[in-house]
Amino acid sequence: MSEQILECAALEPAVREAERLRAEKGQLFHDQIAASIYSRAEDIAKDVVSAAGVKTDWDHKIDRLVTSRIFGYPLMLALLGAVFWLTITGANYPSALLGDFFSAIEKQLTALFTLLGAPAWLHGVVVLGTYRGLAWVVSVMLPPMAIFFPLFTILEDLGYLPRVAFNLDRVFKHVGAHGKQALTMSMGFGCNAAGVIAARIIDSPRERLIAILTNSFVPCNGRFPTLIAIAMIFMGAGATTALGSLAASATVIGLVLIGIAVTLLVSWLLAKTLLRGTPSTFTLELPPYRKPQLLQVIVRSFFDRTLFLLKRAVVVAAPAGAITWVLANVYIGEISVLAQVAGWLDPFGRALGMDGIIIFSFILGLPANEIVVPILVMSYMAAGAMLEPESLGALRELLVFHGWTWLTALNFMLFSLLHFPCGTTILTIRKETGSVGWAVFGTLMPLAVATLVCLLLAQTARLSGLL
Amino acid sequence: MGRTNRPVGRKVSQDFYTIEQAGDAFVVALAGNPNTGKSTVFNALTGLKQHTGNWPGKTVIQSRGEYIHQGRRFMLVDLPGTYSLLASSPEEQTARDFLCFGQPTATVIVVDATCLERNLNLALQVMEITPRVIVCLNLIDEAQRKKIVINHQALENRLGVPVVLTAARSGEGLGQLKEEIALVAGGIIRPQPVPFRYPADIEQEIAKLDRLLPSTLPAGLNRRWVALRLLDGDQAMIDGLQKCWGNNVLRRETA
């Protein structure tokens, strides 16, 4: 026994010296060792492998370009920008068409209700509450989704997303997180709950937690349409001109970049405080490029994503629309319940450059982020302005009527981007971490970040006299 | 031994690394990246004589199987498929710990001929731990279809270990592989992996640590490799090393 302790102690000087050296150089040794092995493997392979197939040669050439240090990021931005631009430009016309269509039907419905002699409250709940909510969701969110998802799926199918992860790996490692978090984050662009589950691919529990907790900082499919719609309305002036479309696209890209920046910043903070440790190395396989099957992509992304999300939005938005209408039309004394709650939330909302109704919509939108805007619109309509949201222009008028400025729009988008994840994602965090504590943290921490960002922005804008 | 939740200290490592029922058989480890046909090689060599279970203390599947070649028994241990031995996943740790402390008589590294470069990373890392290595260049049929030509002799020269070309799915080259395993395990061939120099500053630190390491290391571990892991800050490795150390001493005391 004593001999064992003696021998173990014999290892100590070397262990301590190594610790000292590492403290001096940090991650340098770890990276250098991995890099030396990889470059030797490359060297040997170059020496002994010849006449590599033509196809792989092409793959390599493209990979060099899309993952290069110089062109990697600009190319990423350009592709993302092209996708948003096509979405925004293309969504405008069908959106207006659908809006006209639904408002025509609404007139018929109203006529029908009058003909049957239905009471005013029934007309209110069914037509003004539920139907309008649904019409809004479909006419404003369907066209962007129907264009955005196929485009995004094509990028996925091409094999571009692993390259994005490869580009971002360096940055994630740099902030003390796992390189694979770039992948789980990319997944989060689709759905945050899926991104949280995808974090299983990260083996170290510390790095997995970081990936899980920061996943909701990138906009998911549920929030992209919201961001795109508001950007079109406010930043793109209805996106009716080429310049407007560009401005709206730039805004959405800016938001995505802010989301990624906050992901990195919070990951870094977590890695420095609550979840300390060294990042681990991994091999990321870049799969060969494949020709996407266009027809299949369009069909699949329409049915699997667009209709799925729309169904979810409709299923949640319909009752939410009815509830909103009821809340807005049930009076306690002089004021409606909606106005009452919004009144309580108003000081908080104002401090963040928004108002009480916006905050209330976010709270009601907890089950699914895609219904925040419909609830908001219905609340505003119930609160007085009798506008039919048949087009983006009318929607803009409605929002401006309720005191929206570009600052409100910006704060709204930032809050939507950074605030708590949706109910499904929160439940998923609880399941994946096995802890209520982390789920609560995963809810409150983003809320704190969103509050802080909006507060800073609103106060700075006010103090500097921009508003 | 009954299961306990109490940490059993040095006893654990012994269970962990010693393959039971090896008896007089040569223990041969089978390493390789995922999707290289490693399992096909394993199945082709061992046929139906397989056992599966978990590595003790891990949820990683352990498969072993036996075969007889020229009257000698060989126990083949299928290590989890990994891309490297550097990182901290349970699979990589299991594979590495077995190579370090299980002391296989020979190690076969299955390499995908269609993407040699990526596969060589693992091969080079294994060769740093043990010299008794045979590289099994698998999927050679697929490489031919993709018009990839690999200079067999040059690869052997660059690595310093025997390289066998196989197409495990059709059974091509497996007889040759068995032959090479027998030669290396029996000590008739002693592969000399080509030494690998790291950048000067790392080499300098390796030398420094080498001087600080005790004169003898357990389990016949490579000094240079231990120094590298210390420098890498591989805590799991350091822990394993200390455990194995106790184990070694335990054996000496009881002997």
Residue B195: inside a domain: no
The shortest C-alpha distance from B47 to chain A (Å) reads 31
Residues of chain A with Cβ-Cβ distance to B88 below 8 Å are 203-204, 280
C-alpha–C-alpha distance, residues A255 and A263, integer Å: 12
C-alpha–C-alpha distance, residues B167 and B148, integer Å: 14
3-state SS, residue B150: strand
- pLDDT attached to residue B167: 92
- pLDDT attached to residue A6: 42
Q: Using CB atoms, pick whichever of B10, B147, B228 lies closest to residue A33.
A: B228
Return the bridge partners of B110, or none: B32, B136
- pLDDT attached to residue A446: 94
- Which residue of chain A is at minimal alpha-carbon distance from B114? A52
Q: Using CB atoms, pick whichever of A13, A22, A38 lies closest to residue B233.
A: A22
State the CB neighbour count (10 A cutoff) for residue A446.
22
Identify whether residues B154 and B213 lie together within a single domain.
no
Structure tokens at A406: 């570009």
Mutate to test the interface with B, among A2, A3, A4 (most CBs of B within 10 A): A4
Taking Cα atoms as reference points, which of B112, B81, B110 lies closest to residue B94? Answer: B81
3-state SS, residue B192: coil
Identify whether residues B157 and B212 lie together within a single domain.
no
Identify whether residues B180 and B205 lie together within a single domain.
no
Contact criterion met (CB < 8 Å) for A3 and B253: yes
Contact criterion met (CB < 8 Å) for B118 and A41: yes
The number of distinct structural domains making up chain B is: 2
Burial (CB count <10 Å: 0-12, 13-18, 19+), residue A54: exposed
% of chain B at pLDDT higher than 90: 36
**Residue whose entry in the numeric block shows the structure tokens 């809320």:** A447
Return the bridge partners of A331, or none: A336
Identify whether residues B122 and B209 lie together within a single domain.
no
State the CB neighbour count (10 A cutoff) for residue A276.
10
C-alpha–C-alpha distance, residues A105 and A99, integer Å: 10
Give chain A's mean pLDDT. 80
C-alpha–C-alpha distance, residues B225 and A254, integer Å: 47
- pLDDT attached to residue A237: 66
State the CB neighbour count (10 A cutoff) for residue A240.
16
Identify whether residues B109 and B24 lie together within a single domain.
yes
Q: What is the pLDDT of residues B55-96, one digit of tens each?
A: 666 657 778 889 999 999 999 999 988 888 876 677 888 888
Whether B195 shows a pLDDT value over 60: the answer reads: yes
Identify whether residues B29 and B150 lie together within a single domain.
yes
The shortest C-alpha distance from B88 to chain A (Å) reads 6
Whether B147 shows a pLDDT value over 60: the answer reads: yes
Domain ranges within chain A, ordered by starting residue: 65-463
Q: Using CB atoms, pick whichever of B90, B196, B230 lies closest to residue A40.
A: B196
% of chain A at pLDDT higher than 70: 86
Q: Using CB atoms, pick whichever of A4, A37, A48 lies closest to residue B246.
A: A4
C-alpha–C-alpha distance, residues B29 and B17, integer Å: 12
Tell me which amino acid residue A354 is: M
The Cα-based distances of A359 to A321, A365, A444 in angstroms read 16, 10, 15
Whether B225 shows a pLDDT value over 80: the answer reads: yes
Q: Using CB atoms, pick whichever of B120, B238, B242 lies closest to residue A45.
A: B120
Q: Give the CATH number of the domain where residue B161 resides.
A: 3.40.50.300
Residues 19-78 of B with CB under 8 A from A: none
The Cα-based distances of A316 to A81, A137, A189, A299, A313 in angstroms read 31, 11, 21, 24, 5
Provide ipTM, 2 decimals.
0.84
Given a contact cutoff of 8 angstroms between Cβ atoms, the answer to whether B140 and B167 are in contact is yes
Distance of CA A272 to the CA centre of its chain: 25
Contact criterion met (CB < 8 Å) for A36 and B86: no
- pLDDT attached to residue A282: 61
Interior/surface letters A403-412, b for 16+ CB within 10 angstroms, e for the rest? ebeebbbbbb
Cβ–Cβ contact B149 with A under 8 A: yes
Identify whether residues B174 and B107 lie together within a single domain.
yes
C-alpha–C-alpha distance, residues A226 and A417, integer Å: 10
Given a contact cutoff of 8 angstroms between Cβ atoms, the answer to whether A313 and A137 are in contact is yes
The shortest C-alpha distance from A163 to chain B (Å) reads 16
State the CB neighbour count (10 A cutoff) for residue A101.
14
3-state SS, residue B53: strand
The shortest C-alpha distance from B173 to chain A (Å) reads 20
Identify whether residues B233 and B177 lie together within a single domain.
no
Cβ–Cβ contact B179 with A under 8 A: no
The Cα-based distances of A378 to A134, A333, A340 in angstroms read 10, 22, 16
Residue at which a domain ends, from B185, B216, B244: B185
3-state SS, residue B37: coil
Over chain A (467 residues), what is each successive 10-residue block's mean pLDDT? Answer: 50 82 75 85 88 61 78 83 80 79 86 86 77 73 77 77 79 82 79 79 81 90 82 72 80 91 92 75 64 73 72 71 78 82 90 90 82 80 56 75 87 92 86 88 94 92 75
Contact criterion met (CB < 8 Å) for A203 and B120: no
Cβ–Cβ contact A284 with B under 8 A: no
Identify whether residues B180 and B204 lie together within a single domain.
no
Residue at which a domain ends, from B159, B185, B211: B185
Identify whether residues B128 and B154 lie together within a single domain.
yes
C-alpha–C-alpha distance, residues B112 and B121, integer Å: 12
Residue B109's H or E segment, with its range, is strand B106-112
Structural domain for B44, as ranges: 10-185
Phi, psi at residue A345, to the nearest 5°?
Answer: -80, -15
Taking Cα atoms as reference points, which of B36, B106, B100 lies closest to residue B77? Answer: B106
Work out how many CB contacts closer than 8 A connect A with B: 143
Rg of chain A over all Cα atoms, to the nearest angstrom: 26
Rg of chain B over all Cα atoms, to the nearest angstrom: 18
* A26 Cβ contact partners less than 8 Å away, ≥ 6 residues apart: none
Cβ–Cβ contact B212 with A under 8 A: yes
User: What band does B254 get if pLDDT is binned at 50, 70 and 90?
Assistant: very low
Residue at which a domain ends, from B185, B209, B241: B185
Identify whether residues B144 and B216 lie together within a single domain.
no
Q: Using CB atoms, pick whichever of B86, B90, B231 lies closest to residue A281.
A: B86
Residue B190: inside a domain: no
Residue B5: inside a domain: no
* B98 Cβ contact partners less than 8 Å away, ≥ 6 residues apart: B17, B29, B55, B77, B79, B104
Contact criterion met (CB < 8 Å) for A32 and B205: no
Whether B180 shows a pLDDT value over 90: the answer reads: yes
Q: Which of A220-224, A250-254, B23-27, B160-164 is the most confident on average?
A: B160-164
User: What band does B250 get if pLDDT is binned at 50, 70 and 90?
Assistant: very low
The shortest C-alpha distance from A153 to chain B (Å) reads 26
- Which residue of chain A is at minimal alpha-carbon distance from B235? A15
The shortest C-alpha distance from A286 to chain B (Å) reads 11
Identify whether residues B20 and B139 lie together within a single domain.
yes
User: What band does B107 get if pLDDT is binned at 50, 70 and 90?
Assistant: very high
